[in-house]
Amino acid sequence: MSSVAGPTARSRSDVRPSRALRRPPGATGAVEGAVEGAVVRRGAAQAPPELVSRRLRSRTWRAANSWWLAIPAVGLPWLSFLYMGLRARRVRWVLAAIAYLLAFVGAGTTIGLGLVGSELLIVLGALVGTGAWGLGLMHSVMANSTWLRIKAAFTGEPVVEAVPAPAPVGPAAPADPVAALQERLRDVVRTANRAGGRLPDGAVPAVREIEDVLRPLLAHVAKRGADVEELHNLEAIVTEYLPGALEHYLDLPEDYALTNRGPNGATPAEELVNQLGLLVEGSRDLQRAVYDQDARKLSVQGRFLDAKFRRSDLDL
């Protein structure tokens, strides 16, 4: 069995996908993993989840690291995607850079031929060049959010934001970001329960349904470690979307919220119930995505074991 155990250990590390931001047992500060499947495959260091989250929440940091959008704006989208693809080790961004470069070369060649030939070629070349520029600019704007999430996971980059004011003396916040989200979710549910008399019918049950979905999901993520994308989506629902909807509604006078109809014909009360329904659906979609991802990892392991230990491989 010694001849089988050695290759098995090596093959398993090659086959099994790495778990993003996995925390080793007993450690609270060190994190390992991959962001978007392409950042740390060669052992690059990974920023802690709380630092990644703080960077993504900082508007100053996001603006400072979106400077590359000026490159496609001046007509060089191929250069920006080449930079991002090499920096993040993303093959599809490198391929996009090659495609945009070929489009601009083709447009320039067509215009050059048109100068000594037909004006139609000049128009065609200008259309191709303009189209490639517009498509590249739109593609860059769409890719920026992914690029920021990847770049936020790089270590050694200071957070560009104002120094926060000293926090008031009180109970220390949980160091674990997932534990902080669990506590924040409990606070939001308590707020909804206390304000139940002011909230419209169906609002409090919807909040509790969101809790029923997210509470076990947060426990699951806390047990096996959250990657950057999961943490970002959970944080958005628990700390922004859900409490924001409740706070905006409770800021309104009760009579106004129940009777006044906006431009879309709905009252604020109806708007709140509708938004909570969307958050229920979004929470279930997120829960399903997290569990599906873990199920795929199990399936990969099963295929590996089936290929490794089938009878033909064990026959000596």
Residues of the chain predicted below pLDDT 70? 1-49, 154-175, 311-316
> What is the per-residue pLDDT for 274?
92
DSSP 237: I
Would you list the domain boundaries of the chain? 59-152, 177-311
> What is the per-residue pLDDT for 281?
92
List of residues 6+ apart from 227 with CB closer than 8 A: 19, 20, 21, 33, 35
Q: Dihedrals φ, ψ of 46, to 5°?
A: -120, 135
- What contacts 24+ positions apart, CB below 8 Å, involve 28-37? 28/175, 28/176, 31/225, 33/225, 33/227, 35/149, 35/150, 35/153, 35/227, 35/228, 36/88, 36/90, 36/146, 36/149, 36/150, 36/228, 36/229
> What is the per-residue pLDDT for 228?
81
> What is the per-residue pLDDT for 289?
87
> What is the per-residue pLDDT for 311?
56
Beta-bridge partner residues of 22? 32
Contact 198, 258 (CB under 8 A): no
> What is the per-residue pLDDT for 7?
38
Q: What distance in Å separates the CA atoms of residue 66 and residue 151, rounded to the nearest whole number?
A: 10
Question: pTM of the prediction?
Answer: 0.43
pLDDT tens digit string along 299-313?
887 887 877 777 555
Q: What distance in Å separates the CA atoms of residue 120 and residue 139, rounded to the nearest whole number?
A: 28
